[in-house]
C-alpha cells in the first residue's frame, strides 16, 4: 500500500474506471457458468435429454453432441446476462460518474491510484430502500494489484465517509458467485442480512442469487 493513494474521482479517470468495471465483471462468467451447472433443474434437463436421445438413437454420439451444444448455449446465456448488466451499468451511472456520484454531499466516488495509474474504485450513495444507510457500489480492484490491501482501504474509505455524514450503516449487494468479495466484506465486519433472486427472467431460471450485507457503524 506504500504507493497507493485513495483519492476522489476526476473526469480523466472515466475510461479507466469503465474498463476496470467491465474486466472485473467479466471475470465472474466462469464461476457463474459453474453455478448454472450445479442447479438441479439444469442437471435434470441435461440428464433427461441424454437418456431420451440415447434410447431413441441407440448411439452415444448424438446425446453427447446434444448435451455439448446445450452447455455451449448455457454459457452464452451467462455471457449475455453479464454483458447486459455491464451495458446497463455503464448507461445508468458509469458514463457520467460526476453527475451520479459527485453532485450530492452524501455520495462520492473514489479511485485507488498507484503511481498515476488507477487500479481500483469504489462509490457510495444514499440507499433508496434503506433509510439512514449509504450503499457501497462499484467496488473493483485490478487483478494485478489484489492482495495488497486496496479493497480493504476502499471499504474503510466508504465507512469513514458514511460515519462523517451521520449515517448509521453501510449496505451493499454482491452475487452468490463472488466468494472472494463475500470473504472480504465479512472480514471487514459486514453481516449478511438477506438473500434474493435477481428479478430478471433468465436469472430466475438460473437461480442467480444476490446477497445483501450491512455494516453498522458506531458514531463518535
Helix (H, G, I), strand (E, B) or coil at 109: strand
Q: Mean pLDDT throughout 176-197?
A: 93
User: Apex CA 22: angle with CA 101 and CA 112, to 5°?
Assistant: 55
pLDDT, average across residues 183-191: 95
Residue 188 has pLDDT above 80, yes or no: yes
> What's CA 40's distance to the chain center, in Å?
24
- pTM, whole model, 2 decimals? 0.86
CA distance 203 to 205: 5
What are the φ and ψ backbone dihedral angles of 190, each rounded to 5 degrees? -75, 145
Rounded average pLDDT over 167-188: 94
pLDDT of residue 220: 55
Tracing cell 465479512 back to the chain, one arrives at 186
Q: What angle is formed at CA 129 by the lines to CA 128 and CA 133, rounded to 5 degrees? A: 75
Q: Using H for helix, E for strand and C for coil, what is the string for 157-197? A: HHHHHHHHCCCCEEEEEEECCCHHHHHHHHHCCCEEEEEEE
- Mean pLDDT for all residues in the chain: 90
Residue 110: which of 13, 24, 2 has the closest Cα?
13
pLDDT at 203: 65
Can you tell me the distance from the alpha carbon of 206 to that of 32, in angstroms, rounded to the nearest whole number? 10
How far apart CA 120 and CA 144 sit, in angstroms, is 11
Residue 2: its pLDDT value, please? Answer: 62
| CATH domain 1-219 topology | Aminopeptidase (3.40.630)
Please tell me the predicted confidence (pLDDT) of residue 14: 95
Amino acid at each position: 500500500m506504500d504507493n497507493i493513494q485513495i483519492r476522489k474521482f476526476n473526469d480523466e479517470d472515466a475510461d479507466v474506471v469503465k474498463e476496470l468495471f467491465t474486466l472485473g465483471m467479466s471475470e465472474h462468467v466462469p464461476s457463474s457458468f459453474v453455478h448454472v451447472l450445479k442447479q438441479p433443474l439444469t442437471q435434470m434437463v441435461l440428464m433427461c435429454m441424454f437418456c431420451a436421445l440415447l434410447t431413441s438413437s441407440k448411439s452415444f454420439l448424438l446425446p453427447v453432441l446434444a448435451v455439448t451444444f446445450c452447455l455451449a448455449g448455457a454459457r452464452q446465456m451467462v455471457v449475455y446476462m453479464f454483458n447486459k448488466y455491464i451495458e446497463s451499468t455503464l448507461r445508468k451511472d458509469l458514463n457520467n460518474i460526476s453527475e451520479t456520484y459527485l453532485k450530492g454531499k452524501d455520495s462520492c466516488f473514489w479511485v485507488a491510484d498507484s503511481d498515476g495509474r488507477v487500479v481500483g474504485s469504489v462509490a457510495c450513495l444514499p440507499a433508496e430502500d434503506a433509510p439512514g444507510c449509504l450503499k457501497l457500489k462499484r467496488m473493483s480492484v485490478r487483478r494485478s494489484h489484489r492482495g495488497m490491501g486496496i479493497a480493504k482501504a476502499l471499504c474503510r474509505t466508504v465507512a469513514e465517509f458514511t460515519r462523517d455524514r451521520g449515517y448509521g450503516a453501510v449496505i451493499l449487494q454482491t452475487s452468490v458467485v463472488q466468494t472472494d468479495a463475500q470473504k472480504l466484506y465479512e472480514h471487514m465486519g459486514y453481516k449478511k442480512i438477506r438473500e434474493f433472486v435477481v428479478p430478471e427472467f433468465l436469472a430466475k431460471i438460473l437461480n442467480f442469487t444476490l446477497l445483501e450485507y450491512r455494516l453498522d457503524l458506531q458514531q463518535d
